[in-house]
Structure 1
C-alpha cells in the first residue's frame, strides 16, 4: 500500500478532513464561516424551520450565539449590519433582523452600553411598522427588563412619526404577538403636546373618541359600526385610505369594497391579496383591476421603493398560479396576465445585474437535504430557491450551462444520475424552472461534481456558481481540490461562488482563496454581487 493512497494534499474524500475544515452536520467536512458571515446568513435566511440536518432549535441557538459573538466583538458594526439588511430590503422577512436587534438591545459586557444605545437608536429604522414593533417587544422581553432606555426608545417610536401615519398603524395593526398599542403606550408613557396625538393615545388606551382624533380613526369607527354596507365602506376607503385590515370580515366579500381597496393598496399587500381579489371577481381577464395590477407590477420604481423582496414575488407566483391558498379553502382561476406580470416582477425586484461576458457553470444542489425545510420561513424549499436564483443569473448572461447534481447510493460520478443538465433558461417561466428540479434522483451530496464534470468534458468555464446548503459529504474529492485540479489542468484561473441557502456555519468555499466567494442565497443583492466578483 502506497502512503500516497493514505494521505494526499490534492485529493481527499469529503468524508475526511483537509486543512482548516471542520465536520459539518451531514458527516462530511467543510470550511467554517466567520461569525460575521453567519450573521449575514441569519439576517437574510433565518432559521425558524431548521434544515434537513439541523432542527430549528439547534440552528437558531447556533445563530443566536454567532450574533452574540459579533455584538461582543463590535456591537455598533453588528447593529449597522442589521440596519443595512433591513433598510435595503435584502431579506425576505424582517423576523431575523428584529430578533438580532433585540439581542443587541440586551447586550451585556465591556462595551454593552454603546451597543444597546445603537440598537435602540436603530429601532424605528428596523421596526418600520407596528407589527415589527410588536415582534421586537416580544423578543426583547425574553432577553431583558423594561429599563428607562428601552421605554424611551419605544416612546420615541410613537412620538416621532406624523400623527396620520401613526393613526394608520393603529388601525391597520391593532395587535400582534400578544402585544397591542395599548400595552406599549402604558409601558413607554410617551409625552406630547399635540392635541391630535393626545386624542389618538386616549382612543388607543381608553377607547375614548373625541373630535381631535385623526380623521382616519373616525373613519375606522364608522366602518366598524353595525349595518354599514359595501357602498358606504367603499366611499370611506376612497376618502380616508382605510386599509383592508381595518374592515369587518363581512365586508371583505363586497366587490365595491375590493374595487376601492385595490386603487390605493400598497404593493406588498396587493401581491399578498391577489388570490382573494381574483376569487372576489375584481381580477378577471381584461378587467380594470387586472390592468391596474399589471401596471403596478411593471413599475420598477414602485417595486424597489416598496422593498418588495424577490422571494415575496416568487411565493406569490407559486401560490397564485396554483389557484388555491396554502391554508383554508379559498380557490380561484388564475388570470394569465397576472401570472406573467408576477414572473416579470420577480426579476425587477433584484438590483440591476450587468452581464459578465464570462462562461458560467451554474450548479444546483438538488439533493434530498435541499428539498427539506424552507428558506426564511417561506413555503419555498432551498432547492426551489436555488432554481430561481440560477434563473436570474442565466437570464442576464450569454454563456451559461445549468446542471443539477447528486450522487446516489453506489452511483459513479460520471453517470447521468450523478450530474444532469437541467432545461433551465430565460425562455422558461419562473415556476417551470423551479419545477424542473423536483423529479431528479436524489442521494448523497457531492459538490465537487461540476468541476469534475467540466474537466472530463473539456468544458471551458471561467466560473462555477454552486447553489447549496454546503452539507456535502459523498464525493471522492473535496470541491476546493476539484477546482484547483481544474485550474491546473486547463490553465484557466476559474472562480468558485458558493450561494449558501441555509443559515448554517459551513461553506465549501475556502475563505483564504481569493478566487472563491461565499454569498448568502436569496439576498436581493446577491446576483449583482456574484456578477461583480466574476467580472473581477
Structure 2
C-alpha cells in the first residue's frame, strides 16, 4: 500500500519517485540524481584502504590479502609526488587509533619506504617508531618491506638505520618488556633483525639500560650473563650502574622462568619483576597460583580476555576473593573509562563468557554467576565511553526469524538480533536524534528509548510481524515523512533482497528531496559474505560484511566522514 493511502507509512517495493515525487523510470532517475553523488578522490580511497583494507566501501570481517594491486590510490599518490602527505596521513590514522587492523597501516608505510621518492622514504622511516609501537608491528613492517623489495636486494643503509633507531630511541624499560613479551612474529625474531641491521651494543651514546638490552638482543642471555659474570673474575666489563643492573635482573627472571619446575618460584618472579602471561611457560598456565599472581596487576582488557581461562582452572570460584576483585574492577566506572572499552566489545565478552566455550580451540568453563552479572553491569556502564557524533540517525532493523538462527561472522557467540539490538541501545543512549524502524510487511516504527535494557529492546523486535527486507524502504519512508536523517543504518543477517528501487537510488532521492546532500547509508549484513550494495564512487555508502568488535569503530569513522 502506498504511503499516500496510509498517511505516510510504507512505500511499495515497485514505486519510484522522480525529483517531483512522481513515478519515473530508472534511467531518468539515475540521470536526474547524478548531482547527488560525488566522486571519491585518491586521498579518500587511501583513507578507505587504511581503515577498511580495501579501496571499495566494504568492510570485510575476514582479513583480505594485501597487495600493491589493491592499493592503486596509494600508488597514484606516490606517482603524483604526494608521498610525504601520504606518510603524514598514515601516521595520523595510526596514532589516533582510527584503524581496526594494523596490517593496512604497516603495509602502506612499507610501500612508502620502499617505493616512494627520497623525501617520502625519509618521512616513512622517521615515522617508523611512532607507528610501530610494539615489536609485532615492527616485524610486520619488515616482512612487508621484504615482500615489496626486488629479489636479491638487501637492507640499505636507510633501512638499517631506521630499525636501529626503533630500538635505541624507545624507553628502555618498555623496550625490555616488549622484546621479551613479543619475541617472534611473521617469521622474524629480534636476533634475526639484529643480525641484518648490524646492530652494535657498544657506544658512548648508549645508556646503561640500553647497553644491557642491546647486548641481550644481539648476543642472547648466555653471552650477556657470561659478559657480566665471567668465570675469570678479573676480566673487565662495562660498569652499568643501578638502572642497568635492574634491567639485567629482569632478563635473568625472564630466562629463569623458562626452565623452572617449582610453581612457588614462578609466582615469586611474577611478583618481584612484574612478569606477564607471555613470559610464563605453557606448563604453568593451568596453575591457579600463577594466574592469581598475574591477576593482581593485570590491565582491564587483559583481565576480560582471560576471564574464560581463569574460570576454567578454578581460580574464579564462587565467593572467592579473586571473583570479588574481578567484579569490583568490572564495575569501576573510572577503570572502564580509562580502558575505553566499547559497549559491543563488553557485550561480546559477556556472551562469550556465558556460552562456556571459546570461539576457537577446546577451552570450556562453567560461567560464574557473579562475574556474569558484573559483565552485564559493565556493558551498561560502558555506554558512557561512547562519544556522540551529533548526527541524526535512522536504524532499520531486520526482525526476521533468520536473525536468530546463527552467530555473526566474526562474533559467533552473538546472534545478529542481539547485536543489532545492542547497537540500537547504543544509539538511543548516546545520540540525541534517532528513529528506529523494523522491516515487516511495511516499515514499522519502533519506540526504543535510552532507559531500556537489552531484553526490553529484544522484546519490541520480537513482537513485530515478519516481512521482506527492502533496503530502499528506510530512505523512502524518511522522504515521505519529511524526516531529517544524516545516517541510515540497516542491520540484517544477509543483504539478500532489495526491491525495484536500488538503495543507492533511494539514498540519492532522499538527498535531493531533504537537502541533506551528504546523508549516508550503512548496510550491516552480519552473516553474509556475498555481494555488496555500496556504490564505490559514492563516499556516503558503506557495507559491513559480518560483524566483529572492530565494526562499530569502522562505522563511527565513516559517519564522521573520515573514510
Q: TM-score range by the shorter chain?
A: 0.7 to 0.9
Shift of 1:246: 0.6
Cα gap change, 1:279 to 1:523, in 2 (>3 Å): same
Matches within 5 A, 1:5-16: none
Q: Unmatched 5+ residue regions in structure 2? A: 1-14, 229-244, 545-549
Residue 383 of structure 2 is aligned to residue 347 of structure 1: yes
Q: In the alignment, what sits opposite 2:53?
A: 46
Alignment equivalent of 1:188, drawn from 192, 197, 213: 197
Q: Unmatched 5+ residue regions in structure 1? A: 23-29, 406-415
Cα gap change, 1:294 to 1:169, in 2 (>3 Å): same
Q: Which has the larger radius of gyration?
A: 2
TM-score w.r.t. the length of structure 2 is 0.71
Residue 333 of structure 2 is aligned to residue 333 of structure 1: no
Q: In the alignment, what sits opposite 1:100?
A: 108
Shift of 1:498: 2.6
Shift of 1:319: 2.3
Cα gap change, 1:254 to 1:517, in 2 (>3 Å): same
Shift of 1:481: 4.9
Q: In the alignment, what sits opposite 1:162?
A: 171
For residues 447 and 313 of structure 2, what CA distance do their matches in structure 1 show?
37
Q: In the alignment, what sits opposite 1:123?
A: 128
Shift of 1:423: 8.4
Q: In the alignment, what sits opposite 1:204?
A: 217
- Contact 2:359-2:412 at 8 Å conserved across structures: no
Deviations along 1:379-411, one digit per CA (max 9) or x if unpaired, are 989998766544322222455333355xxxxxx
Please, which moves more after superposition, 166-175 or 34-43? Answer: 34-43
Q: In the alignment, what sits opposite 2:271?
A: 238
Shift of 1:465: 2.0
Alignment equivalent of 1:361, drawn from 385, 394, 401: 394
For residues 432 and 7 of structure 1, what CA distance do their matches in structure 2 show?
33
Shift of 1:332: 1.7
Query: What SS does the aligned partner of 1:401 have?
Result: strand
Alignment equivalent of 1:18, drawn from 30, 37, 47: 30
Residue 488 of structure 2 is aligned to residue 465 of structure 1: yes
- Contact 2:475-2:507 at 8 Å conserved across structures: yes
For residues 78 and 334 of structure 2, what CA distance do their matches in structure 1 show?
35
RMSD between superposed Cα atoms in Å? 5.0
Matches within 5 A, 1:447-526: 447-454=471-478, 458=481, 460-467=483-490, 474-479=498-503, 481-482=505-506, 496-499=519-522, 507=534, 522=551, 524=553
- Contact 2:179-2:190 at 8 Å conserved across structures: yes
Shift of 1:168: 0.7
TM-score w.r.t. the length of structure 1 is 0.74
Cα gap change, 1:235 to 1:177, in 2 (>3 Å): same
Please, which moves more after superposition, 279-288 or 50-59? Answer: 50-59
Shift of 1:218: 1.0
For residues 475 and 125 of structure 2, what CA distance do their matches in structure 1 show?
47
Deviations along 1:79-107, one digit per CA (max 9) or x if unpaired, are 23322232223333322222222222223
Query: What SS does the aligned partner of 1:474 have?
Result: coil
Aligned residue pairs, count: 496
Alignment equivalent of 1:138, drawn from 137, 143, 146: 143
Query: What SS does the aligned partner of 2:489 have?
Result: strand
Cα gap change, 1:176 to 1:404, in 2 (>3 Å): farther
Cα gap change, 1:393 to 1:17, in 2 (>3 Å): same
For residues 394 and 85 of structure 1, what CA distance do their matches in structure 2 show?
28
For residues 473 and 183 of structure 2, what CA distance do their matches in structure 1 show?
52
Cα gap change, 1:299 to 1:342, in 2 (>3 Å): closer
Query: What SS does the aligned partner of 1:273 have?
Result: helix
Deviations along 1:452-510, one digit per CA (max 9) or x if unpaired, are 23456x47454442247998983323446535656787x78697233476999984698
- Contact 1:321-1:339 at 8 Å conserved across structures: no
Shift of 1:214: 2.6
